[in-house]
Amino acid sequence: MTKVFFYDTKIGKVGIGQEEQAITNLFFYGTSSPKEYLLEETELIAKAAEQLGEYFAGKRKIFELPLSPSGTDFERSVYAALSNIPYGKTKSYSDIAAEISRPKAVRAVGTANGKNPISIFIPCHRVIGKNGQLAGYSGGLDVKEILLDLEKSN
């Protein structure tokens, strides 16, 4: 069963989830959470929350956590590509499609990006439209803009 604990952050309340020995979820309060979970702050969840706080304070650019996102093989390949986007940089959906050797799968990349179960830790907020415009984010475009601005200022 997923263990979840909630934290207040500069972008609002977030839940961090853990299964076995890995972080499996970061969700925004009021959005979909695991259907069943145990409210418990584990050592790993507390460590993830601490690193998230350091990120928001501009003191952390790389997360050092075991992550285990659920998803299809294709989705996990997208998540791996997202994890390689450097702090403060952005890429387009077509860039990600090319990186996973599926250049025609731009829309599928967008769908996978939207299903990312571990937002921020797997930085789907760093993916923008080819025209440079912000496009969809599970926490809302205002949160995406806050995250991108935070990274640009650091």
Distance CA 110, CA 62 (A): 23
Q: Across all residues in the chain, what is the average pLDDT?
A: 91
Distance CA 77, CA 124 (A): 13
Distance CA 127, CA 101 (A): 17
Dmax (CA) of the chain: 42
Task: Kindly state the average pLDDT of the residues 139-147.
Answer: 82
User: 73-83 vs 106-115: helix axis angle to the nearest 10?
Assistant: 80
For residue range 53-109, list pLDDT tens digits in order: 999 999 999 999 999 999 999 999 999 999 999 999 999 999 999 999 999 999 999
Per-residue H/E/C for the chain: CEEEEEEEECCEEEEEEEECCEEEEEEECCCCCCCCEEECCCHHHHHHHHHHHHHHCCCCCCCCCCECCCCCHHHHHHHHHHHCCCCCCCEEHHHHHHHCCCCCCHHHHHHHHHHCCEECCECHHHEECCCCCCCCCCCCHHHHHHHHHHHHHC
Residue tagged active-site, from 45, 118, 124, 143: 124
Give 46's pLDDT tier (boundaries 50, 70, 90).
very high
Please state the φ and ψ torsions of residue 100, each to the nearest 5 degrees.
Answer: -95, 15
Distance CA 128, CA 133 (A): 6
* The pLDDT of residue 78: 97
Q: Is the pLDDT of residue 43 over 90?
A: yes
Residue 49 known to be catalytic: no
* The pLDDT of residue 134: 76
What percentage of the chain reaches a pLDDT higher than 70?
94
